[in-house]
Amino acid sequence: MVVVFLVGSSTLCAEPIQASEGLRIMADRNTGNCVSCHEIPAWKQSTESANRLTLQGNFGPSLQGVGSRYNKQQLRQWIVDARVIHPNTLMPPYGTNERLHLPARSKNLLTQKQIEAVVDTLTTFAQVPVSTKDEKPSEALATSGIAQLQSANAMNPIELWIDEGKRKWEEDCSACHALEKVVKAVPNFPKLDASHKLINLDDQISVCRQRAEVNANPNPNPNSNSIATTTASTQSFYNDDNLTLELSTFLNDAARLLAINIAPPTNPSHATIWKKNLADGERLFKTRMGHMNLSCQQCHDGKVGTSMRAQKISAGHPTGFPAYRISWQGLGSIERRIRACYSGVQAQVPAPQDIRLRQLELYLKTRAQGLPLEGPSIRQ
């Protein structure tokens, strides 16, 4: 039924140019995904209208004309492993898994057969005097959609989370804390806890949620309630639990415009531990990883302002969390965002609460020292 419908409807619409196998591989997110970094005018022409499928990035150069500039063997080398051509290339190696850090799987990004199909298509990309200057509507569309969402207060989904967080704060937290004091501490995270472990704001909220639970149930009956009590005091909460997110959203909103203020502990031996964490964070930020073989730095320092499909790469400053992302259909913590970037380069994603995520956050915050917190934000 579905097949019949699709075939039937496509003959009714204005006829798109038939996309070759190679073009489809280049456009498909699950195979080549070349259009996330390259403009491929032939793909634009082969799809019907300016829908999301036609969004193309400019992280790398346009592929218009590569068939005139390179022969088949050179094109194959670009795809299989461009490091042979430029040792510092940002073009991912599609035909090898050698010298990669933390690749997500053992298979290459593309099979030999797929690479040949792509190379065949690339040879047809001749240099033509094209002007694609008039085609910039998609990004403007996407951005204005977000602006609308952010400005229309009644519709702004974050407001609901702030209200819920406020209610929880009053119920569970205000007995032990003065709000102003806690808000002033928001720009100082991540920091070492009493056991010298690096924790972020969301971890602290989780620790305190356990306290609040114990508080709410101070005299458990040792016989009937022993299991419940044990879980209350040893359970650790996930940073993307709704309740932690609500409280984090509330506190980050209250801390809006306070400047990020990261400092080592005053005790010298604690400072040594702290500095080691910071150095590890910096090293992680600068290490290439995943099948795409890119480091955080190469995107968030080197390619700021370029686009990967619809996403414009920012400096990666950790100022707007939790973030409401349209693709998440909800709020996510900074931990979730950093894990998404690991996944984006097809690297093995650290488990929630992995220390590397906190070390990276510490480095990001140090890099953003003095910048005002934006509060919870809306992102694409």
Q: Which residues bind ligand HEC (CB under 6 A)?
A: 26, 32-34, 36-38, 59-61, 63, 66, 75, 78-79, 82, 86, 89-92, 94, 118, 172-173, 175-177, 182, 185, 194, 201, 204-205, 207-209, 211-212, 215, 247, 292, 294, 296, 299-300, 308, 311, 313-314, 316, 318, 320, 323, 337-338, 341-342, 344-345, 360, 364, 379
**Is 10 or 286 the residue whose CB approaches ligand HEC more closely?**
286
Helix axis angle, 72-81 relative to 112-123, nearest 10°?
130
Shortest distance (Å) from residue 266 CB to ligand HEC = 14
Distance CA 205, CA 33 (A): 39
Minimum CB distance to ligand HEC, residue 2 (Å): 29
By CB atoms closer than 10 A (0-12, 13-18, 19+), residue 149 is middle
Contact (Cβ atoms closer than 8 angstroms) between residue 338 and residue 282? no
Angstrom distance (rounded) from CA 350 to CA 97: 20
Mark residue 93 as left, alpha or beta (left: phi above 0; alpha: psi -120 to 50; beta: remaining): beta
Where does 124-200 have alpha helices with state H? 137-151, 157-168, 179-185
Report the distance separating Cα 229 and Cα 103, nearest Å. 41
Give the separation between CA 117 and CA 204, rounded to whole angstroms.
Answer: 52
Look up residue 112 and give its two tokens. Answer: 């030999």
CB-based contact 353:239 (threshold 8 Å): yes
Give 273 or 340: the residue with its C-beta nearer to ligand HEC.
340
153 vs 171 by CB, closer to ligand HEC: 171
Compare residues 188 and 271 and give the one whose CB is closer to ligand HEC.
188
Q: How far apart are CA 30 and CA 109, in angstroms?
A: 9
Closest CB 284 distance from ligand HEC, rounded Å: 6
C-beta of 93: minimal distance to ligand HEC in Å? 10
**Which of 186, 25, 4 is CA-nearest to residue 116?**
25
Smallest distance from ligand HEC to CB 10, Å: 26
Compute the least distance from the CB of residue 90 to ligand HEC, in Å: 4
Kindly tell me the sign of the dihedral angle through the C-alpha atoms of 70, 76, 78, 84. Answer: negative
Shortest distance (Å) from residue 370 CB to ligand HEC: 16
**Nearer to ligand HEC by C-beta: 31 or 159?**
31
Residue 266 is given by DSSP the state S
How far lies 152's CA from each of 149, 158, 249, in Å?
A: 6, 11, 18
The residue count for the chain: 380
Residue 37 or residue 42: which is nearer to ligand HEC going by CB?
37
- Choice between 162 and 205, CB closer to ligand HEC: 205
Nearest C-alpha neighbor of 309 from the set 35, 3, 67, 85? 35
Residue 228 Cβ, how far from ligand HEC at the closest point, in Å?
18
* Smallest separation, CB 6 to ligand HEC (Å): 26
Q: How far is the CB of 15 from ligand HEC (least distance, A)?
A: 26
Of 271 and 350, which has the nearer Cβ to ligand HEC?
A: 350
| The two three-digit tokens of residue 290, written as one number | 């995943």
Q: Are the C-beta atoms of residues 215 and 175 closer than 8 Å to each other?
A: yes
CA angle 75, 103, 358 (to 5 degrees): 130
Nearer to ligand HEC, 88 or 223 (CB): 88
Nearer to ligand HEC, 215 or 271 (CB): 215
